[in-house]
Amino acid sequence: MRLVDDLATVGPADWNSLAAASGSGRAQPFLRHEFLHALEATGCVGAGTGWQPRHLLLEDARGRLRAAVPIYLKSHSYGEYVFDWAWADAYQRHGRRYYPKLLSAVPFTPVTGPRLLAADARARGAAARALMRLAAESGLSSLHVLFPTESEAALLEACGAMQRRGVQFHWRNEGWPDFDAFLAALSQSKRKKIRAERRKVASAGLAIERLAGEAIAPADWAFFTRCYENTYAEHGSTPYLNLAFFERIGALLPGNLVLVVARDGARPIACSLLMVDDERVYGRYWGAVEQVPCLHFELCYYQAIELAIERGLAVIEGGAQGEHKMARGFEPVQTRSAHWLAEPAFADAVERFLEREGGMVGAWLDELGERSAYLR
């Protein structure tokens, strides 16, 4: 077991092999060495960001990499999408230090996927035990594993971590041949609403274009970054990512990227970035320099649905939160995270909180399930 603070010291092929083995033969784009190292190489994580890499590696006697866990030493709770601000506040009010803490996650990416990257089940179990041992010996307040798979969450629970439930909204492809067939599966009111929203965009005279992979030019990345930064500025926030990062993944992961651009004549006015693999579409970022009614829905949802239907992809993950997605054919799914706190009294309090919260999440899921947009 050893820790590394620079993913450049780990062979990309070795890391990606573990990611693929953990993902039923495919490496989710966010877990690939190219994506995670791009965050480090372009300064999106590292010194001054509150995300300090501390990746855990497990090697066998021959020095071969058998398991890896992406880990960050966090000095805040921004960019995580599983909120623990109240826990941090309680620690501070009692004179305890909550930060720094250990976090296993893909930065700024609320997507469920493997966190214990391992060559086989034995190595995965060893990684879970090593991760919990690292937390216990670190002297830090806590360990948080965000959006692991269900089996990993159960494995970590068996090692002493607490489970937390959450909700996201995903779209599932039922094999529809085209967008109209998808609409036909919806209730009349939802079908009418979507058609009205798409008409508003069409009546604005905008041209919508999807650029895939190497067709995304440097000027496109520059405009997208401007839109992305504008979205954060409108919410009074600082963007996590930068142009260098987008250009880097554009060069290294072209097959996983689709940029959707809205143009008024020759002039781009808005765009969204989708990431794809051989099974899913992941809605990531969006922004605009001019406001057009319903354009967000068109670029982020309806274009993604058309893309999934055209490519035969099974699921669209639309990111964190967003109950409004249900009116557009997305349905609620449960997410998980795993948490360990060093201080027994706080751990007991958090465990009681998670039991209450889990019950409320379950009730909310039941309620949402009764409000499906689909004809059943």
Domain layout of the chain by residue ranges: 2-166+335-369, 174-313
SS3 340: strand
**Nearest 10 degrees: CA dihedral of 102, 105, 107, 111?**
-150
The 10 Å CB-count burial string (b at 16+, else e) for 257-276 is: bbbbbbeeeeebbbbbbbbb
- Comparing CA positions, the residue from 79, 92, 82, 29 lying closest to residue 281 is 29
Tell me the C-alpha distance between 83 and 272, whole Å: 25
**What is the structure's pLDDT at 284?**
82
**What is the structure's pLDDT at 320?**
85
pTM assigned to the model = 0.96
CATH number (3.40.50.300, 3.40.630.30, 2.60.40.10, 1.10.630.10) of 2-166+335-369 reads: 3.40.630.30
Residue 319 has, within 13 A of its CA and on its CB side, a CA count of 18
Q: Do domains 2-166+335-369 and 174-313 have the same CATH topology?
A: yes
**What is the structure's pLDDT at 296?**
95
Q: Which region, left, alpha or beta, applies to residue 283 given φ > 0 means left and ψ of -120 to 50 means alpha?
A: beta
Residues of the chain scoring pLDDT < 70: 24-25, 376
CATH number (3.40.190.290, 3.20.20.70, 3.40.630.30, 3.30.70.360) of 174-313 reads: 3.40.630.30
Q: What is the pLDDT of residues 123-151, one digit of tens each?
A: 999 999 999 999 999 999 999 999 999 99
Q: What is the pLDDT of residues 169-222, one digit of tens each?
A: 999 999 999 999 999 999 999 999 999 999 999 999 999 999 999 999 999 999
**What is the structure's pLDDT at 135?**
98
**What is the structure's pLDDT at 24?**
66
**What is the structure's pLDDT at 331?**
95
Q: What is the pLDDT of residues 104-113, one digit of tens each?
A: 999 999 999 9
**Nearest 10 degrees: CA dihedral of 165, 170, 173, 179?**
160
**What is the structure's pLDDT at 25?**
67
SS3 186: strand
The amino acid at 337 = S
**What is the structure's pLDDT at 321?**
79
